[in-house]
Protein backbone atom coordinates (compact mmCIF):
# COMPACT_ATOMS: atom_id res chain seq x y z
CA UNK A 1 0.00 0.00 0.00
CA UNK A 2 1.13 3.54 -0.69
CA UNK A 3 1.39 5.54 2.48
CA UNK A 4 -0.79 8.61 2.73
CA UNK A 5 1.11 11.78 1.92
CA UNK A 6 1.60 14.12 4.81
CA UNK A 7 0.82 17.72 3.97
CA UNK A 8 2.25 20.34 6.27
CA UNK A 9 0.55 23.64 6.86
CA UNK A 10 2.12 26.63 5.11
CA UNK A 11 4.55 28.58 7.24
CA UNK A 12 2.91 31.68 8.75
CA UNK A 13 4.03 34.91 7.09
CA UNK A 14 4.81 37.98 9.19
CA UNK A 15 5.46 41.50 7.94
CA UNK A 16 8.55 41.69 10.16
CA UNK A 17 10.29 39.47 7.60
CA UNK A 18 10.87 42.61 5.54
CA UNK A 19 9.53 45.53 7.60
CA UNK A 20 11.37 46.53 10.77
CA UNK A 21 9.69 49.90 11.37
CA UNK A 22 6.09 50.75 10.59
CA UNK A 23 4.59 54.19 9.96
CA UNK A 24 0.94 54.95 10.66
CA UNK A 25 -1.03 58.20 10.67
CA UNK A 26 -3.32 59.18 13.52
CA UNK A 27 -6.41 60.96 12.21
CA UNK A 28 -8.32 63.67 14.04
CA UNK A 29 -11.07 61.12 14.74
CA UNK A 30 -8.49 58.76 16.27
CA UNK A 31 -7.22 61.20 18.90
CA UNK A 32 -10.39 63.22 19.49
CA UNK A 33 -11.48 61.37 22.66
CA UNK A 34 -9.90 59.10 25.25
CA UNK A 35 -12.09 56.26 24.01
CA UNK A 36 -10.98 56.68 20.38
CA UNK A 37 -7.30 56.81 21.43
CA UNK A 38 -7.73 53.62 23.47
CA UNK A 39 -9.37 51.88 20.51
CA UNK A 40 -6.47 52.93 18.27
CA UNK A 41 -3.94 51.68 20.83
CA UNK A 42 -5.63 48.31 21.29
CA UNK A 43 -5.97 47.62 17.56
CA UNK A 44 -2.53 48.90 16.62
CA UNK A 45 -0.81 47.06 19.48
CA UNK A 46 -2.45 43.82 18.39
CA UNK A 47 -1.19 44.45 14.86
CA UNK A 48 2.38 45.25 16.01
CA UNK A 49 2.56 42.13 18.15
CA UNK A 50 1.04 39.81 15.56
CA UNK A 51 3.36 41.02 12.80
CA UNK A 52 6.45 41.23 15.04
CA UNK A 53 7.20 44.86 14.13
CA UNK A 54 10.29 46.11 15.98
CA UNK A 55 9.45 49.84 16.13
CA UNK A 56 6.94 52.35 14.80
CA UNK A 57 6.37 55.99 14.00
CA UNK A 58 2.95 57.48 14.61
CA UNK A 59 2.08 60.62 12.68
CA UNK A 60 0.07 63.53 14.04
CA UNK A 61 -1.01 66.49 11.90
CA UNK A 62 1.15 69.59 12.29
CA UNK A 63 -1.93 71.72 11.62
CA UNK A 64 -5.53 71.22 12.69
CA UNK A 65 -8.01 73.66 11.14
CA UNK A 66 -4.96 75.54 9.81
CA UNK A 67 -3.64 76.13 13.35
CA UNK A 68 -0.56 74.60 14.92
CA UNK A 69 -1.40 71.44 16.82
CA UNK A 70 0.58 71.71 20.07
CA UNK A 71 1.64 68.66 22.07
CA UNK A 72 -1.52 67.55 23.91
CA UNK A 73 -1.42 66.60 27.59
CA UNK A 74 -2.26 62.95 26.80
CA UNK A 75 0.66 62.44 24.39
CA UNK A 76 3.34 61.08 26.76
CA UNK A 77 1.07 58.41 28.24
CA UNK A 78 -0.16 57.57 24.76
CA UNK A 79 3.34 57.00 23.35
CA UNK A 80 4.43 54.84 26.28
CA UNK A 81 1.52 52.42 25.86
CA UNK A 82 2.72 50.56 22.77
CA UNK A 83 4.45 47.20 22.57
CA UNK A 84 7.55 48.49 20.75
CA UNK A 85 9.68 51.66 20.72
CA UNK A 86 7.43 54.42 19.38
CA UNK A 87 8.26 57.85 17.95
CA UNK A 88 5.77 60.63 17.31
CA UNK A 89 6.18 62.49 14.03
CA UNK A 90 4.29 65.53 12.80
CA UNK A 91 3.26 65.87 9.18
CA UNK A 92 2.19 68.70 6.92
CA UNK A 93 -0.67 68.02 4.53
CA UNK A 94 -0.73 68.91 0.83
CA UNK A 95 -4.49 69.39 1.19
CA UNK A 96 -3.86 72.38 3.43
CA UNK A 97 -5.20 75.72 2.26
CA UNK A 98 -1.71 77.08 2.87
CA UNK A 99 0.51 76.34 -0.12
CA UNK A 100 3.81 74.50 0.45
CA UNK A 101 5.77 77.50 -0.86
CA UNK A 102 4.46 79.45 2.17
CA UNK A 103 5.16 76.87 4.86
CA UNK A 104 8.62 78.04 5.89
CA UNK A 105 7.41 81.65 5.96
CA UNK A 106 4.33 81.03 8.08
CA UNK A 107 5.88 78.30 10.25
CA UNK A 108 9.61 79.10 10.69
CA UNK A 109 9.76 76.48 13.46
CA UNK A 110 9.85 73.90 10.66
CA UNK A 111 13.46 74.97 10.14
CA UNK A 112 14.31 73.31 13.48
CA UNK A 113 13.60 69.88 11.97
CA UNK A 114 16.06 67.69 10.10
CA UNK A 115 13.14 65.74 8.65
CA UNK A 116 9.68 66.81 7.55
CA UNK A 117 6.90 64.37 6.77
CA UNK A 118 4.35 65.50 4.20
CA UNK A 119 1.07 63.75 3.39
CA UNK A 120 0.36 63.57 -0.33
CA UNK A 121 -3.01 64.38 -1.87
CA UNK A 122 -4.53 63.74 -5.28
CA UNK A 123 -5.62 67.39 -5.34
CA UNK A 124 -2.19 68.82 -4.52
CA UNK A 125 -0.71 71.72 -6.45
CA UNK A 126 2.27 69.67 -7.62
CA UNK A 127 3.99 72.54 -9.41
CA UNK A 128 4.00 74.65 -6.24
CA UNK A 129 5.17 71.74 -4.10
CA UNK A 130 7.93 70.62 -6.48
CA UNK A 131 9.25 74.17 -6.77
CA UNK A 132 9.19 74.66 -2.99
CA UNK A 133 11.31 71.53 -2.37
CA UNK A 134 14.46 73.47 -3.24
CA UNK A 135 13.79 75.81 -0.28
CA UNK A 136 13.70 72.80 2.06
CA UNK A 137 16.85 71.41 0.47
CA UNK A 138 18.67 74.70 1.09
CA UNK A 139 17.62 74.47 4.74
CA UNK A 140 18.98 70.88 4.90
CA UNK A 141 15.55 69.44 5.67
CA UNK A 142 14.93 65.91 4.40
CA UNK A 143 11.41 65.53 3.03
CA UNK A 144 9.51 62.25 3.41
CA UNK A 145 6.28 61.90 1.46
CA UNK A 146 3.44 59.90 3.00
CA UNK A 147 0.54 58.24 1.13
CA UNK A 148 2.44 58.34 -2.16
CA UNK A 149 -0.09 55.76 -3.45
CA UNK A 150 -2.45 58.57 -4.43
CA UNK A 151 0.02 59.80 -7.08
CA UNK A 152 -0.29 56.50 -8.96
CA UNK A 153 -3.73 57.52 -10.24
CA UNK A 154 -2.47 60.88 -11.52
CA UNK A 155 -2.18 61.20 -15.31
CA UNK A 156 1.44 62.36 -14.87
CA UNK A 157 2.33 59.94 -12.08
CA UNK A 158 5.69 58.84 -13.48
CA UNK A 159 6.81 62.40 -14.17
CA UNK A 160 5.80 63.58 -10.67
CA UNK A 161 7.54 60.65 -8.96
CA UNK A 162 10.69 61.14 -11.05
CA UNK A 163 10.72 64.83 -10.10
CA UNK A 164 10.34 63.97 -6.40
CA UNK A 165 13.22 61.48 -6.54
CA UNK A 166 15.41 63.96 -8.45
CA UNK A 167 14.83 66.45 -5.62
CA UNK A 168 15.78 63.89 -2.97
CA UNK A 169 12.33 63.21 -1.48
CA UNK A 170 11.87 59.84 0.26
CA UNK A 171 8.66 58.08 -0.75
CA UNK A 172 6.40 56.10 1.59
CA UNK A 173 3.67 53.75 0.35
CA UNK A 174 0.97 51.87 2.25
CA UNK A 175 -0.46 48.55 1.10
CA UNK A 176 -3.85 49.93 0.10
CA UNK A 177 -3.18 50.24 -3.63
CA UNK A 178 -5.92 51.67 -5.86
CA UNK A 179 -8.00 49.35 -8.01
CA UNK A 180 -9.95 50.27 -11.11
CA UNK A 181 -11.38 48.61 -14.18
CA UNK A 182 -8.29 49.51 -16.20
CA UNK A 183 -5.61 48.82 -13.55
CA UNK A 184 -5.37 45.99 -11.01
CA UNK A 185 -3.59 46.36 -7.68
CA UNK A 186 -0.82 44.10 -8.98
CA UNK A 187 -0.28 46.52 -11.88
CA UNK A 188 0.58 49.30 -9.44
CA UNK A 189 2.60 46.96 -7.21
CA UNK A 190 4.76 45.92 -10.16
CA UNK A 191 5.01 49.52 -11.28
CA UNK A 192 6.61 50.85 -8.08
CA UNK A 193 8.83 47.74 -7.87
CA UNK A 194 10.06 48.28 -11.43
CA UNK A 195 10.62 51.97 -10.77
CA UNK A 196 12.46 51.14 -7.50
CA UNK A 197 10.85 54.08 -5.71
CA UNK A 198 9.66 52.63 -2.38
CA UNK A 199 11.70 53.99 0.54
CA UNK A 200 9.49 52.93 3.47
CA UNK A 201 6.19 51.21 4.20
CA UNK A 202 3.16 52.70 5.93
CA UNK A 203 0.05 50.98 7.22
CA UNK A 204 -3.51 52.13 6.60
CA UNK A 205 -5.54 49.19 7.92
CA UNK A 206 -4.34 47.40 11.03
CA UNK A 207 -7.53 45.92 12.52
CA UNK A 208 -6.66 42.21 12.40
CA UNK A 209 -10.19 40.96 11.71
CA UNK A 210 -10.84 43.34 8.81
CA UNK A 211 -10.79 42.52 5.10
CA UNK A 212 -8.81 45.72 4.48
CA UNK A 213 -5.99 44.51 6.75
CA UNK A 214 -5.76 41.19 4.85
CA UNK A 215 -5.70 42.97 1.47
CA UNK A 216 -3.03 45.44 2.55
CA UNK A 217 -0.83 42.72 4.02
CA UNK A 218 -1.24 40.61 0.89
CA UNK A 219 -0.27 43.54 -1.34
CA UNK A 220 2.92 44.12 0.65
CA UNK A 221 3.78 40.44 0.36
CA UNK A 222 3.13 40.49 -3.40
CA UNK A 223 5.41 43.50 -3.76
CA UNK A 224 8.32 41.76 -2.05
CA UNK A 225 7.73 38.51 -3.89
CA UNK A 226 7.76 40.36 -7.21
CA UNK A 227 10.81 42.42 -6.22
CA UNK A 228 12.78 39.23 -5.53
CA UNK A 229 12.07 37.91 -9.02
CA UNK A 230 13.61 41.07 -10.52
CA UNK A 231 16.95 40.69 -8.71
Q: What is the mean pLDDT of residues 192-206?
A: 95
Q: Does 12 map to a domain?
A: no
- Quote the pLDDT of residue 2: 46
The answer to the question of residue 7 being in a domain is: no
Mean pLDDT score, 6-19? 74
Average pLDDT rounded to a whole number, residues 60-83: 88
User: Average pLDDT of 181-197?
Assistant: 86
Question: Do the domain assignments include residue 231?
Answer: no
Q: Report yes or no on 150 lying in a domain.
A: yes
Residue 185 falls within a domain, yes or no?
A: yes
Which comes out higher in pLDDT, residue 30 or 231? 30
What number is the average pLDDT over the span 187-210?
A: 94
Indicate the pairing of strand 67-68 with strand 86-93. unpaired
The pLDDT, as a whole number, for residue 27 is 86
In the predicted model, what is the mean pLDDT of residues 198-204?
96
CATH code at position 143: 3.20.20.140
Q: The domain containing residue 92 runs over which residues? A: 18-225
Considering its fold, how many domains does the chain have in total?
1
Q: Does residue 62 register a pLDDT over 60?
A: yes
- Is pLDDT at 7 greater than 60 in this prediction? no
Residue 45 has pLDDT above 50, yes or no: yes
Among 95, 220, 193, 217, which residue's Cα sits nearest to residue 146? 95
Is residue 1's pLDDT more than 80? no
pLDDT at 226 over 80: yes
Residue 29 pLDDT: 87
φ, ψ of residue 95 to 5 degrees: the values are -85, -5
Is 144 part of any domain? yes
Amino acid sequence: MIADKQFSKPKPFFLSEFIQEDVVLLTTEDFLTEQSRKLFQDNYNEYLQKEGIASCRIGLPFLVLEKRFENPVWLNDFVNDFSCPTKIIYYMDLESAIRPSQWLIKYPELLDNKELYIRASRNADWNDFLNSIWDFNKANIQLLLLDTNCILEHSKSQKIIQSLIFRGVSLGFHGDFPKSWWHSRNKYIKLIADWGVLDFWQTNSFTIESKEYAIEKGNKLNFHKYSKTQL
